[in-house]
């Protein structure tokens, strides 16, 4: 516990108006930035988990062959999700897929734009 005394500033210096109060102000700004960063990180993590659960719900229980045959249903399911960004991303991914001639396999054929010129 003695180490904590060395980490925390002397807040009484804020009332004195001395130049040493600048160290306390700097410490308070750093503590506020750290708190904001931790809260943002937790929020982003929770948002990521929700998006991953939604994406996993689209492909849960489907094999690669099933995904090829249920392509339209999976796209409709993605567009019906509460998070509209996931539906838009799935549509973008689905546009990059090409079916085999027997419609049993899907291939991702993204090509760099520099190859098309």
Together in a domain, 79 and 103: yes
Query: What is the mean pLDDT of each successive set of 10 residues along the chain, which is 117 residues long?
Result: 78 80 90 98 96 88 80 87 87 79 72 58
Residues 1 and 56 in one domain: yes
Residue 73 and residue 116 in one domain: yes
Count of the separate structural domains present in the chain: 2
The predicted pLDDT at position 89 comes to 87
Same domain, 44 and 71: no
99 & 112 share domain: yes
Q: Which domain does 72 fall in, by range? A: 64-117
Q: Which long-range contacts (CB under 8 A, 24 or more apart) does 100-108 make?
A: 100/68, 103/68, 103/69, 104/65, 104/68, 104/69, 105/64, 105/65, 105/68, 106/64, 106/67, 106/68, 106/71
> pTM for this structure?
0.65
Q: What is the pLDDT of residue 102?
A: 74
Both 99 and 111 in one domain: the answer is yes
- Supply the pLDDT for residue 17: 77
Q: Are residues 68 and 99 in the same domain?
A: yes
Which pLDDT score is estimated for 108? 73
């Amino acid at each position: 516990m003695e180490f904590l005394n060395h980490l925390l500033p002397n807040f009484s210096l804020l009332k004195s108006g001395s130049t040493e109060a600048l160290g306390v102000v700097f410490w308070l700004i750093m503590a506020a930035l750290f708190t904001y960063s931790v809260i943002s990180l937790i929020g982003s993590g929770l948002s990521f988990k929700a998006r991953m659960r939604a994406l996993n719900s689209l492909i849960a229980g489907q094999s690669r062959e099933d995904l090829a045959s249920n392509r339209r249903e999976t796209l409709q399911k993605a567009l019906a999700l509460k998070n509209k960004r996931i539906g838009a991303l799935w549509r973008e991914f689905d546009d990059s897929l090409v079916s085999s001639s027997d419609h049993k396999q899907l291939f991702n054929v993204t090509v760099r734009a520099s190859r098309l010129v």
